Amino acid sequence: MLFRSRPKPRLFDLATKQAIPIDDAKFAEPWSIDRVRWSEDSREVYCLYNARGHQVLRLCAIDAATGAVRTVVEEASGKFVDYSQKTWMQWLADGKTLLWASERDGWNHLYRVDVRTGAATQITQGSWLVRKVERVDEARQCIWFTAYGIRPGQDPYYAHLARIGLDGTGLTVLTAADGTHEWSFSPDGSLIVDRWSRVDQPQVTELRRAADGSLVAEIGRA
Protein backbone atom coordinates (compact mmCIF):
# COMPACT_ATOMS: atom_id res chain seq x y z
CA MET A 1 0.00 0.00 0.00
CA LEU A 2 1.29 3.45 -0.92
CA PHE A 3 0.91 6.41 1.42
CA ARG A 4 1.24 10.02 0.35
CA SER A 5 2.67 12.47 2.85
CA ARG A 6 0.53 15.42 3.94
CA PRO A 7 2.61 18.59 3.89
CA LYS A 8 1.82 21.25 6.49
CA PRO A 9 3.34 24.72 6.92
CA ARG A 10 5.49 25.25 9.99
CA LEU A 11 7.00 28.38 11.54
CA PHE A 12 9.79 28.67 14.09
CA ASP A 13 10.95 31.54 16.26
CA LEU A 14 14.71 31.68 15.78
CA ALA A 15 15.21 33.61 19.01
CA THR A 16 13.47 31.09 21.23
CA LYS A 17 13.95 28.08 18.91
CA GLN A 18 10.30 27.24 19.52
CA ALA A 19 7.64 26.31 16.97
CA ILE A 20 4.82 28.80 16.43
CA PRO A 21 1.49 26.89 16.51
CA ILE A 22 -0.39 27.24 13.21
CA ASP A 23 -4.11 26.74 12.73
CA ASP A 24 -4.23 23.80 10.31
CA ALA A 25 -7.95 24.05 9.51
CA LYS A 26 -7.35 25.65 6.10
CA PHE A 27 -4.74 23.00 5.22
CA ALA A 28 -6.81 19.96 6.16
CA GLU A 29 -6.41 17.79 3.05
CA PRO A 30 -3.33 19.01 1.17
CA TRP A 31 -2.25 17.77 -2.22
CA SER A 32 0.43 20.43 -2.25
CA ILE A 33 1.47 23.59 -0.42
CA ASP A 34 3.85 25.81 -2.36
CA ARG A 35 4.42 29.32 -3.82
CA VAL A 36 5.75 30.39 -0.41
CA ARG A 37 6.47 34.10 -0.01
CA TRP A 38 6.99 36.47 2.90
CA SER A 39 5.29 39.85 3.12
CA GLU A 40 7.48 42.93 2.75
CA ASP A 41 7.31 43.59 6.51
CA SER A 42 7.76 39.88 7.43
CA ARG A 43 4.53 39.92 9.44
CA GLU A 44 2.89 37.29 7.22
CA VAL A 45 3.96 34.38 5.09
CA TYR A 46 1.86 33.35 2.09
CA CYS A 47 1.44 29.89 0.60
CA LEU A 48 -0.77 28.29 -2.04
CA TYR A 49 -2.83 25.35 -0.78
CA ASN A 50 -4.13 22.82 -3.33
CA ALA A 51 -6.63 20.43 -1.73
CA ARG A 52 -6.58 16.72 -2.42
CA GLY A 53 -9.21 16.08 -5.10
CA HIS A 54 -8.47 19.50 -6.64
CA GLN A 55 -11.74 21.18 -5.72
CA VAL A 56 -10.16 23.97 -3.65
CA LEU A 57 -7.20 26.19 -4.46
CA ARG A 58 -6.49 28.75 -1.75
CA LEU A 59 -3.84 31.39 -1.16
CA CYS A 60 -3.38 31.67 2.60
CA ALA A 61 -1.63 34.24 4.76
CA ILE A 62 -0.14 33.04 8.05
CA ASP A 63 0.47 35.53 10.84
CA ALA A 64 4.12 35.05 11.74
CA ALA A 65 3.56 36.05 15.38
CA THR A 66 0.38 34.16 16.24
CA GLY A 67 0.05 31.41 13.61
CA ALA A 68 -3.46 32.61 12.69
CA VAL A 69 -4.39 31.85 9.09
CA ARG A 70 -6.57 33.92 6.77
CA THR A 71 -7.69 33.32 3.18
CA VAL A 72 -6.44 35.90 0.69
CA VAL A 73 -8.15 34.45 -2.39
CA GLU A 74 -9.78 31.09 -3.10
CA GLU A 75 -11.09 29.05 -6.02
CA ALA A 76 -13.63 26.34 -5.24
CA SER A 77 -15.59 23.96 -7.45
CA GLY A 78 -17.83 20.97 -6.84
CA LYS A 79 -16.08 19.29 -9.77
CA PHE A 80 -12.52 20.42 -10.47
CA VAL A 81 -10.20 23.40 -10.21
CA ASP A 82 -7.76 23.21 -13.13
CA TYR A 83 -4.61 23.64 -11.06
CA SER A 84 -2.23 22.21 -13.67
CA GLN A 85 -3.25 24.31 -16.68
CA LYS A 86 -4.84 27.51 -15.40
CA THR A 87 -3.19 28.33 -12.08
CA TRP A 88 -1.38 31.63 -12.55
CA MET A 89 -0.40 34.27 -10.03
CA GLN A 90 2.08 37.13 -10.02
CA TRP A 91 2.95 39.56 -7.27
CA LEU A 92 3.38 43.22 -8.13
CA ALA A 93 6.35 45.17 -6.83
CA ASP A 94 4.37 46.83 -4.04
CA GLY A 95 4.00 43.44 -2.32
CA LYS A 96 0.34 44.26 -1.62
CA THR A 97 -1.20 43.42 -4.98
CA LEU A 98 -1.53 40.04 -6.64
CA LEU A 99 -2.53 39.22 -10.21
CA TRP A 100 -4.60 36.03 -10.28
CA ALA A 101 -6.28 33.84 -12.92
CA SER A 102 -9.74 32.42 -12.24
CA GLU A 103 -12.65 30.67 -13.96
CA ARG A 104 -15.13 31.97 -11.38
CA ASP A 105 -17.35 33.67 -13.99
CA GLY A 106 -17.29 30.64 -16.32
CA TRP A 107 -14.36 31.90 -18.42
CA ASN A 108 -10.68 31.98 -17.52
CA HIS A 109 -9.92 35.63 -16.78
CA LEU A 110 -7.47 37.81 -14.87
CA TYR A 111 -8.10 39.54 -11.55
CA ARG A 112 -6.26 42.05 -9.38
CA VAL A 113 -6.35 41.09 -5.70
CA ASP A 114 -5.72 43.40 -2.75
CA VAL A 115 -3.73 41.05 -0.53
CA ARG A 116 -4.56 42.99 2.64
CA THR A 117 -8.34 42.70 2.22
CA GLY A 118 -8.80 39.89 -0.31
CA ALA A 119 -10.90 42.16 -2.54
CA ALA A 120 -10.67 41.03 -6.17
CA THR A 121 -11.19 43.33 -9.16
CA GLN A 122 -11.72 41.72 -12.55
CA ILE A 123 -9.25 42.89 -15.22
CA THR A 124 -10.38 40.90 -18.28
CA GLN A 125 -13.96 39.85 -18.95
CA GLY A 126 -16.16 38.60 -21.75
CA SER A 127 -17.22 35.43 -23.56
CA TRP A 128 -13.65 34.45 -24.35
CA LEU A 129 -10.74 33.21 -22.26
CA VAL A 130 -7.22 34.04 -21.26
CA ARG A 131 -4.96 31.09 -22.05
CA LYS A 132 -1.57 32.47 -21.04
CA VAL A 133 -0.03 35.66 -19.70
CA GLU A 134 2.84 36.72 -21.95
CA ARG A 135 4.17 39.86 -20.24
CA VAL A 136 3.39 42.09 -17.27
CA ASP A 137 4.84 45.60 -17.52
CA GLU A 138 4.31 47.51 -14.27
CA ALA A 139 5.97 50.65 -15.64
CA ARG A 140 3.42 50.80 -18.46
CA GLN A 141 0.69 49.30 -16.25
CA CYS A 142 -0.16 46.73 -18.94
CA ILE A 143 -0.54 43.00 -19.42
CA TRP A 144 -0.09 41.13 -22.70
CA PHE A 145 -1.82 37.76 -22.93
CA THR A 146 -2.90 34.95 -25.24
CA ALA A 147 -6.68 34.84 -25.78
CA TYR A 148 -8.98 32.30 -27.40
CA GLY A 149 -12.36 33.22 -28.86
CA ILE A 150 -11.70 36.96 -28.66
CA ARG A 151 -12.21 37.61 -32.39
CA PRO A 152 -15.95 37.23 -33.23
CA GLY A 153 -16.56 35.19 -36.36
CA GLN A 154 -13.23 33.37 -36.17
CA ASP A 155 -12.55 29.84 -35.00
CA PRO A 156 -12.42 30.08 -31.17
CA TYR A 157 -9.35 27.84 -31.15
CA TYR A 158 -7.28 30.47 -32.94
CA ALA A 159 -4.74 32.07 -30.58
CA HIS A 160 -4.58 35.88 -30.56
CA LEU A 161 -2.38 38.32 -28.66
CA ALA A 162 -4.14 41.05 -26.67
CA ARG A 163 -3.16 43.86 -24.33
CA ILE A 164 -5.02 45.46 -21.42
CA GLY A 165 -4.28 47.90 -18.61
CA LEU A 166 -3.87 46.62 -15.06
CA ASP A 167 -7.01 48.60 -14.21
CA GLY A 168 -9.04 46.67 -16.82
CA THR A 169 -9.20 49.48 -19.38
CA GLY A 170 -7.85 49.73 -22.90
CA LEU A 171 -8.39 46.18 -24.13
CA THR A 172 -6.72 45.91 -27.54
CA VAL A 173 -6.44 42.78 -29.68
CA LEU A 174 -3.06 43.10 -31.38
CA THR A 175 -3.37 40.31 -33.96
CA ALA A 176 -6.11 40.57 -36.56
CA ALA A 177 -5.79 38.05 -39.40
CA ASP A 178 -8.23 35.13 -39.56
CA GLY A 179 -5.90 32.39 -38.37
CA THR A 180 -3.98 31.16 -35.37
CA HIS A 181 -1.05 33.30 -34.29
CA GLU A 182 2.29 32.92 -32.57
CA TRP A 183 4.65 35.76 -31.80
CA SER A 184 7.85 36.99 -30.25
CA PHE A 185 8.61 40.37 -28.66
CA SER A 186 11.50 42.68 -29.42
CA PRO A 187 13.97 43.10 -26.50
CA ASP A 188 12.38 46.40 -25.42
CA GLY A 189 8.84 45.04 -25.78
CA SER A 190 7.78 47.70 -28.27
CA LEU A 191 7.39 45.43 -31.32
CA ILE A 192 6.16 41.92 -32.04
CA VAL A 193 6.90 39.53 -34.86
CA ASP A 194 3.52 37.95 -35.60
CA ARG A 195 3.35 34.65 -37.49
CA TRP A 196 -0.10 33.42 -38.47
CA SER A 197 -1.61 30.67 -40.61
CA ARG A 198 -4.63 28.41 -41.19
CA VAL A 199 -5.02 24.94 -42.66
CA ASP A 200 -5.75 26.65 -46.01
CA GLN A 201 -3.35 29.60 -45.56
CA PRO A 202 0.43 29.19 -45.44
CA GLN A 203 2.26 31.19 -42.82
CA VAL A 204 2.46 34.97 -43.03
CA THR A 205 5.01 36.88 -40.94
CA GLU A 206 4.36 40.50 -39.93
CA LEU A 207 6.02 43.13 -37.78
CA ARG A 208 3.54 44.94 -35.52
CA ARG A 209 3.62 47.49 -32.71
CA ALA A 210 3.02 45.95 -29.29
CA ALA A 211 1.07 48.99 -28.05
CA ASP A 212 -1.78 48.96 -30.58
CA GLY A 213 -1.11 46.12 -33.01
CA SER A 214 -0.62 48.45 -35.97
CA LEU A 215 1.24 46.94 -38.91
CA VAL A 216 4.81 48.10 -39.49
CA ALA A 217 5.60 45.77 -42.37
CA GLU A 218 4.92 42.36 -43.84
CA ILE A 219 8.15 40.43 -43.49
CA GLY A 220 7.37 37.27 -45.42
CA ARG A 221 4.69 35.08 -46.94
CA ALA A 222 5.09 31.34 -47.49
pTM: 0.92
Query: What's the pLDDT score for residue 3?
Result: 56
Catalogue the E-assigned strands of the chain: 11-13, 18-20, 30-38, 44-51, 56-63, 69-76, 89-91, 97-102, 109-114, 120-122, 129-137, 142-148, 159-165, 172-173, 180-185, 191-198, 201-209, 215-221
d(CA 146, CA 173): 10
Query: What's the pLDDT score for residue 87?
Result: 92
Each residue's pLDDT, cut to its tens digit, for the chain (222 residues) gives 555 677 889 999 988 999 999 988 898 899 999 999 999 999 999 999 999 999 999 999 999 999 999 999 999 998 999 988 899 999 999 999 999 999 999 999 999 999 999 999 999 999 999 999 999 999 999 999 999 999 999 999 999 999 999 999 999 999 999 999 999 999 999 999 999 999 999 999 999 999 999 999 999 999
Query: What's the pLDDT score for residue 2?
Result: 56
> Which of these, 198, 174, 171, 172, lies nearest to 184 by C-alpha position?
174
Query: What's the pLDDT score for residue 24?
Result: 86
Query: What's the pLDDT score for residue 4?
Result: 60
d(CA 144, CA 40): 27
d(CA 28, CA 134): 34
Query: What's the pLDDT score for residue 12?
Result: 93
Strands lying side by side in the sheet with 172-173: 129-137, 142-148, 159-165, 172-173
> Which of these, 83, 210, 100, lies nearest to 166 by C-alpha position?
100
